A and B are shown apart, each in its own frame.
Chain A
């Protein structure tokens, strides 16, 4: 498939607020990206020419924000609405190997829907993990450093070097990743599902605030065992350009690449090669 034929849906509902930069990340790499409201996929309360089908897309991204005001729990309402109406379609989408990306609120939504960690099936009936309130009980908003833990399995991180340290900004109040008792950390590790961990600048143990939320084993992002569904709390789309990295004046602009650009490039290359 050619780059310009890769159709990307950036899915939103009321309260989503990172759709613009997420859409631009794909668009500026030459993909055919579109911001799509959930109602358009449900063909409900929309004009006929606005109706869309999930099948028509090659990549699904759920961007960050405060969908439905974070009522009940962050991501719970977006997750429940999507799952009840599109559960089967979503399952097929994932099982055909098409990539799904959830950033920040999007990660919370993927977990609420049971699309992550998805250890034994594509989509679990009830959530098997949670993104709890940060230990600090505060909205943590600052640059965070992440170690790329795995680049063999996850289709979003193939362009990074293994154990490369990247800077993505974090901005969340509910980002402390915890697992259900039925799933062990070893299981996630064995399946190569841990993709990003928070790290200190020297690559060592990240004390707060380098781990901004108290996440289990410093986990910042995980994928499904197949590697085509990725969820992470920090925002790669906010460091697409080198000059949105906070240290660009010191590092210079020699390479036209922010730390997050490689993630979007990797997944587009995966789709070009495999579909």
Chain B
């Protein structure tokens, strides 16, 4: 089985209100926090009949067609299994 992990993050410079809000709340709870950035994680199981190289290519297509909007987001793919 080949499993890919896709991390979607906001590009540098794109506002991250959820991260800012989380930081504010963590500070209210007493932690000294400089910055919080939020993102999204997808774990995709591509089954057994695919090589790791092919899987990476396929997942890259998935990112372009659905998982990321390149205007505001970046993606990072790692094959974890």
Q: Which residues of A contact B (CB under 8 A)?
A: 72-73, 76-77, 80, 84, 112, 126-130, 132-137, 176, 178-180, 214
The answer on a CB contact under 8 Å between B71 and A137 is no
The closest CB in chain A to the CB of B65 belongs to A80
Q: Which residues of B contact A (CB under 8 A)?
A: 14-18, 20-21, 40, 64-67, 69-72
A128-B71 in contact given A133-B17, A135-B17, A137-B17 (Cβ < 8 Å): yes
A247 to B17, CA, bound (A): 32
The closest CB in chain A to the CB of B67 belongs to A72
* Residues in chain A near residue B18, CB distance under 8 A: 133, 137
| Of the residues A127, A134, A135, A136, contact of B69 by C-beta under 8 Å | A127
The answer on a CB contact under 8 Å between A135 and B15 is yes
* Residues in chain A near residue B15, CB distance under 8 A: 132-133, 135, 176, 214
* Residues in chain B near residue A179, CB distance under 8 A: 71
The closest CB in chain B to the CB of A182 belongs to B71
* Residues in chain B near residue A126, CB distance under 8 A: 64, 70
Min CB distance, B71 to chain A, in Å?
A: 4
The answer on a CB contact under 8 Å between B71 and A130 is yes
A80 to B71, CA, bound (A): 16
* Residues in chain A near residue B70, CB distance under 8 A: 126-127, 180
| Residue of A73, A76, A129, A135 with most chain B CB atoms under a 10 A cut-off | A73
* Residues in chain B near residue A132, CB distance under 8 A: 14-15, 72
The answer on a CB contact under 8 Å between B72 and A80 is no
The answer on a CB contact under 8 Å between B71 and A129 is yes
* Residues in chain A near residue B69, CB distance under 8 A: 73, 76, 112, 127, 130
26 contacts between A and B (CB under 8 A): A72-B40, A72-B67, A73-B69, A76-B66, A77-B66, A80-B65, A80-B66, A84-B65, A126-B64, A126-B70, A127-B69, A128-B71, A129-B71, A130-B69, A130-B72, A132-B14, A132-B15, A133-B18, A134-B17, A135-B17, A137-B17, A137-B18, A137-B21, A176-B15, A178-B72, A180-B70
* Residues in chain A near residue B17, CB distance under 8 A: 133-137
| Of the residues A80, A128, A137, A176, contact of B20 by C-beta under 8 Å | A137
* Residues in chain B near residue A136, CB distance under 8 A: 17
